[in-house]
Amino acid sequence: MTGYSEKQIQIMEAAEELFANKGFDGTSVRDIAEEAGVNLAMISYYFGSKEKLMESLFQYRGHYITLQLENMLQNKEMSSLQKVYGVIDSYMERIMKLQCFHKIMSREQMADVKGATTKLIHELKKKNQELVQQLISEGQKKGEFKKNIDVPLLMATLIGTTGHLVTTQHYYKKLNNLEALSDEEFEKHIKKKLSNHLKSLFKAVLTYE
């Protein structure tokens, strides 16, 4: 289900910020209602429980990347390498834009508790990995990519490098004398630098050039 109403999205986005900053257990339904500017009953009406709200948030946020990957796979105009570059930019854009969601995703994966959210993360990662695998296989069939490519490690490189930079950006700024940059300037700077870095890395791993 991805067709959420404006009010549901408002509640999910309020919950997302609280879950990121206070943790899932540290956030009450009352906190979410106050942050979203709605009454308590509305959250129960739309989602049933805090757990179900978290599940909806994962479905809402997770659907976007999957959709982009599917669209890219169907694109007949792009070369396989261009599609890989598109994947890199999509993930980077998403992680940088949705820093709160990325924080929740990382925390949930580290906790490794069994539950509905864990199942959703597994399904989401599995689906996206399969789509990227399909994209790589397509490039191999065309002779554009090398054989024996480790797709899970490529995905870990992309998500891990971007995620690490985003979550530790205050250190990166300090270490590299970039503290004078505003958040917007820094994001622009790092996006370009990181995009070029990842693309040259992936090109070296994937192609015969």
pLDDT one-digit tens code per residue, 41-73: 999 999 999 999 999 998 888 888 888 899 988
Of 38, 3, 159, 166, the closest CA to residue 15 belongs to 38
Structure token digits, residue 181: 């940059």
**H helices then E strands: how many in the chain?**
10, 0
Rounded distance, CA 71 to CA 68, Å? 5
Residue 12 pLDDT: 96
Q: What is the mean pLDDT of residues 172-191?
A: 91
Rounded distance, CA 18 to CA 12, Å? 10
Residue 1 pLDDT: 47
Of 15, 25, 162, 12, the closest CA to residue 107 belongs to 25
- pLDDT at 11 > cutoff 60: yes
Rounded distance, CA 43 to CA 38, Å? 8
Q: 51-206 maps to which CATH number?
A: 1.10.357.10
Residue 167 pLDDT: 85
- pLDDT at 2 > cutoff 70: no
Q: What is the pLDDT of residues 133-180, one digit of tens each?
A: 999 999 999 999 999 999 999 999 999 999 998 888 889 999 999 999
Q: What is the pLDDT of residues 64-116, one digit of tens each?
A: 888 889 998 899 999 999 999 999 999 999 888 888 888 888 888 877 667 77
Rounded distance, CA 37 to CA 154, Å? 41
Residue 26 sits at the vertex; the CA angle it makes with 22 and 29, to the nearest 5 degrees, is 105
Find all residues with CB under 8 Å of 35, minimum gap 6, and list them: 14, 15, 17, 18
Residue 112 pLDDT: 65
Element containing residue 7 per DSSP (H, E): helix 6-22
Q: What is the mean pLDDT of residues 11-19?
A: 95
